Every structure is written in C-alpha cells, then in structure tokens.
Amino acid sequence: MMKRLFLIVLLMPFLVVVEQALAEQNIATLRSAEISVEPDAPRMGNEENKDMKRKRNYPMQPPTIPHKTANYRIDLNSNKCLSCHSRRQVDESQAPMVSVTHYMDRDGNFLAEVSPRRYFCNQCHVPQGELKPLVENTFEDIDTILDNKKKKQ
Amino acid sequence: MLNKIKELWQTISSPSRYFSLGILIIAGFVAGVIFWGGFNTVLEATNTETFCISCHEMEANVYQELKSTIHYSNRSGVRATCPDCHVPHDWTDKIARKMQASKEVWGKIFKTISTREKFLAKRKELAQHEWDRFKANDSLECRNCHDFQYMDFTRQGKRAEAAHSRGLAQGEKTCIDCHKGIAHELPDMAGVEGWQ
C-alpha cells in the first residue's frame, strides 16, 4: 500500500506534464504562429467614427463610444473626455452628459465633481473598430431569449 | 574723457582723407551684406529644432512628448518643428519673440527647469504663457498651416464640423481654446476653463 502511494506521488509531475501537452494541442488559438516565433503585428484597425449611438446589449451596459478617441489623454492632470461630456461642458459641446451615477459615491451621495472611481472613462467605455470579429459571438440579448421561450411554449 | 569723445566725433564727422567715395560706398555695402547676412544666419540657426533641443531641458521633456503626437509623426510625413508653433514667422514679430526669449537664456543659466521635477512644478506657468500668447494673436502659428479659409467642413467629422462652424466661424473662439495639449502633455488642468 505504502509503496503504491509513493509511486503515484513520484509520477505525479510527469502526469501533469503529459496532460498539459495533450491539452495544448486542442487549444484554439488566436495566435497563428508557434509560441517561439514572434509574428508581425496585425495591422491597426480603424476606429469607427460615425457619431451614431449604438444599441446596448443589456440595459446596464456602459455605452460604447461612437467616435475616435485616439490621442485622448486621461491622467491625473487632465481628462479629455470630460472636456466635452462633463456637466459643465455639455451646453458648449452638445455632447451627452455622463450619467448621473458618475457623480455619486458608492453610498449614493451626490458629489460636485465626477467621482474618482468613475474618472477613468475607458475602463468601461470603449470605441469600436471596423474589424471582422476573430471569434463568433454567441451572445443573445434578453429579447431574443424571451422570444425563444415563447416559441417553445 | 570728454576730449576723447570730441576727438572721435571730429574723426567721424570729417570727410575721408585717403579713401574715395566709391571705395567707401562699396566697402560699406560689402560690410553691410556681411553683417546683415551674418545676423540673419545666426537668427535662423537659433530658429531650428536642433538648436532648441541642444538644451536638455527641451530635449528630455517637451521634445520627447512631441514625438508621439500627430505634429511629429503621421501618415503623410509633414511635420511641425518647435519654431513652427513657438516662433512667429513675420520678421518683426520674430525679433520681438526672440527678445522675450532672452528670459529663457536666463532660465538656462540659473537652472530654472534643470530637472524633471522643477520642470513639472513650473509646467502650468509655462503652458499658461503659451496659451496666453496664442489667445492674444488669434492662434497665428496654428493658422500658418491650418487656414480657416481653406477648411473643407464636409471632410471633417460631424462633431468637428459642428464645433468649427459654431465657435470658430463666428470668431468667438480661437484654435487654442479647445486644442490644448495637442503637442505636449498637459499640466494639472484644475481651474482651466473648459476642462471639467
């Protein structure tokens, strides 16, 4: 009994290695080159710049940015996004104001300025590229799910 | 002392004893060409990017920041150098700016921004000087290349077109009012109009 246990423990690392090797062959990869090769960087895609609001996939989704944001800087000193989208600027810029939740702290108290935890816009809001998706997206929004359910009934 | 001055004045005011009028005119002309040409050559030499970034204050801070912006590197390869934006192109304005720049020599000698920390501490003041200058001359250095007369609004983005036809076209706004920090990083913008 003791001997068998000892053998299993001894072989454990080898088993893991074999398992990994088998697994690697089946991993679908977006990297179309050997791991030891550095392939050429893919061409940079164009950011969509149509200024048309996009549909949200679910009500709480942070809206995606319908314009270019290349070279927009957000750091401790300045926030280029807020120079149009902050409460004080929207009359001049005619841009949509950042939602009121951005002026709340996490306890729901209203602040005079955009809350520091909402300051870095591109943590949630991103522009979209004019690209072919690398993988198929199987997301279904709530309307589709409800419709399917109705059909089944 | 007074006698010496009087003597000098007499020498200058009396006619030439040895040289003919022709020689004097030609020599004067040649000397004029040399002095004037020399002056302008030196002036132009101080009006190049190589000269600007020969000081580490400019090379290590503002020049490095410029490099990643569209005024340095872009698809068509047209670029702006330091004096294109920071020195007026007309001769008289250029001389006026060059005289102001003697303050910068003072700053170099007394190491006003000799370290990154000193530079960052002074950045807002320095930026404010440039913003004021652009505001005062209606963004002349921008307009040397970006001429409003020839802007095709139909080739601009919707937002750009709207903003340009609102503020800029009516003359209420000038380029620098909105386009701050396009070639260098910005200082702390708290309290600057239009930023938060």
The residue with tokens 């004080």 is A88
Tell me what ipTM this predicted complex has.
0.77
Contact B157 A68 (CB under 8 A): yes
Q: List the domains of chain B with CATH numbers.
A: 26-178 (1.10.3820)
Contact B196 A68 (CB under 8 A): no
The verdict on residue A4 lying in a domain is no
The verdict on residue A63 lying in a domain is no
Phi, psi (degrees; rounded to nearest 5) at A96: -65, 140
Which residues in B lie closer than 8 A to residue A49 (C-beta atoms)? 157
Contact A88 B189 (CB under 8 A): no
Distance CA B128, CA B123 (A): 8
In tens, the pLDDT along B10-53 reads 988 888 888 899 999 999 999 999 999 999 999 999 999 999 99
3-class state of residue B12 by DSSP: helix
Classify residue A37 by its DSSP letter: -
Supply the range of the domain harboring residue A102: 68-125
Q: In the Cβ-directed half-sphere of B193, how many Cα atoms lie within 13 Å?
A: 8
Structural domain tally of chain A?
A: 1
The verdict on residue A89 lying in a domain is yes
CA torsion, points B146, B151, B156, B160, in degrees to nearest 10? 70
In tens, the pLDDT along A110-121 reads 999 999 999 999
Distance CA B161, CA B155 (A): 9
Q: What is the torsional sign of CA B67, B72, B76, B77?
A: negative
Rama region for B151: left / alpha / beta (φ>0; ψ in -120 to 50; rest): beta
CA torsion, points B176, B174, A48, B68, in degrees to nearest 10? -20
* B159 close to A (CB below 8 A): yes
The single-letter code of the amino acid at B194 is G
At B106, is the pLDDT very low, low, confident or very high (cuts 50, 70, 90)? very high
The verdict on residue A108 lying in a domain is yes
The verdict on residue A105 lying in a domain is yes
Which of residues 50 through 69 in chain B touch A, CB cutoff 8 A? 69
The verdict on residue A144 lying in a domain is no
Distance CA A51, CA A59 (A): 20
Which of residues 168 through 187 in chain B touch A, CB cutoff 8 A? 178, 181, 185-187
In tens, the pLDDT along B122-134 reads 999 999 999 999 9
- Domain CATH number, residue A110: 1.10.1130.10
Express as a percent the part of chain B with pLDDT over 70.
99
Classify residue B171 by its DSSP letter: T
